[in-house]
Amino acid sequence: MLVIVAPGQGAQTPGFLTPWLEDPTFASRLDWLSTVAGLDLAHYGTEADAETIRDTRIAQPLLVATGLVAVLEVFPHPADAFELVGAVAGHSVGEIAAAVGARVITAEQAMVLVRERGNAMAEAAAVTPTGMTAVLGGDREEVLAAIDKHGLTAANDNGPGQIVAAGTLEQLQAFADEPPTKARLMPLSVAGAFHTHHMEPAVGHLAGLARSVSVHDPRTRVISNRDGKVVHDGRDVLARLVGQIASPVRWDLCMETMEDLGVTGILEMPPAGTLTGIAKRALKGVETFALKTPDQLEAAREFCAKHGEASGVGIGTSPTWRMVVSPFKGTFHKSEEAASLEVLAAGAAIGEVASLRDRATVSAQHGGTIVEWLVEDGDPVAPGQPLIRLHPEGGGH
């Protein structure tokens, strides 16, 4: 089972694009995305210093564009990827790149959204002096209690031993003066308290733009930062991308879902290293590949072939039917009402998936005629497993 991941802000380093731009195809594709974003991304990825590319308005488009162009180097024929890739996920802004990889939105839509996301988050960060501090080690419950005590938000939960606290500079200073026992604090060089309520103004701006964005349902599983669930409705993916600006990144839950899926290999898009590093600590026995330079491309393709061979996802885009899939691992409980119907209205509940941690209603967002139930009441289900096949009312996608 192959999972492809895209890193978030902070992964960029000065000059990281230099070797990639030696390839004329890569350079021309980046130039196109630069034009859409209105930024000279080649300059920022080769000549700009660390302080310049730390700017949210530059870092976010730079990261997304790099991931989008690099994945085309790994998969020159993108349609082939859907036979190999079991799931995609992105950390924070990396989710936008993941959404393109799953064919929810286009690369051009992504670059407009990420440009506006970066600008809006920078403006929101300028309202109140805020920041973020990584908390390394310590007892998890103690760390979370200390974060809460000081009025901070656990903005990133990256798994064992790495939680990022965010809030005002005064709150962070009070936290630093009274740190959790056995924990090391590391202030992060970011412009503000991302993934907290301080970013709410940016959510409003993006939500307005998102109303004009056309979407498609994902071609492969998309694992959401919000709660680690597999999302298979394009509109829901987009809504989560917008809301996620002001809500915590639960990368720990994303990795739990990868484990539930049976992941054997994780490939991280450039600038790689952060997420594969976390995976090595949290997902023992899972192979990782940090794609950093183009001389690794052949090895990256071999890695994909090795781990992707048996991961056929079964989420197609045939125009004659639609799938509704499970959001996470658990037990499926069929709705008695849905079981008695032949046609489901848009948004109708087909049942619930329950686990020890969570319980979620599963709905047929688009509705349609029931072609066949693929699971029965009480069946165990995996993340992204098809539950019911529907024929769209009126036909078409």
Residue ranges of alpha helices (H) inside the chain are 24-37, 41-46, 50-54, 56-74, 78-84, 94-101, 107-127, 140-149, 169-177, 200-210, 234-243, 251-261, 274-282, 297-308, 336-339
Could you tell me if 117 and 195 are in contact, meaning their C-beta atoms sit under 8 angstroms apart? Answer: no
Confidence of residue 346 (pLDDT cuts 50, 70, 90): very high
Q: Mind listing the pLDDT tens digit for each residue in 155-212?
A: 999 998 999 999 999 999 999 999 999 999 999 988 899 999 999 999 999 999 999 9
Measured CA to CA, the distance from residue 173 to residue 182 in angstroms comes to: 18
Q: Is 198 a catalytic residue?
A: no
Measured CA to CA, the distance from residue 366 to residue 392 in angstroms comes to: 7
Which residues sit opposite 6 in a β-bridge? 90
pTM of the model: 0.91
Q: Mind listing the pLDDT tens digit for each residue in 316-338?
A: 544 457 889 999 999 999 999 99
From the candidates 92, 224, 311, 335, give the one annotated as an active-site residue: 92
Residue 95 confidence (pLDDT) above 90: yes
Q: Please name the fold of domain 322-391.
A: OB fold (Dihydrolipoamide Acetyltransferase, E2P) (2.40.50)
Residue 130 confidence (pLDDT) above 50: yes
Same CATH fold assignment for domains 125-187 and 322-391: no
Q: What is the pLDDT of residue 310?
A: 52
Token code pair at residue 139:
């007892």
Q: Domain residue spans in the chain?
A: 2-123+197-308, 125-187, 322-391
Q: What is the pLDDT of residue 311?
A: 44
Q: Is 43 a catalytic residue?
A: no
Domain 125-187 has CATH 1.10.3720.10: no
From the candidates 34, 91, 150, 195, give the one annotated as an active-site residue: 195
Q: Please name the fold of domain 2-123+197-308.
A: Malonyl-Coenzyme A Acyl Carrier Protein; domain 2 (3.40.366)
Please state, rounded to an integer, the average pLDDT across all residues of the chain.
Answer: 94
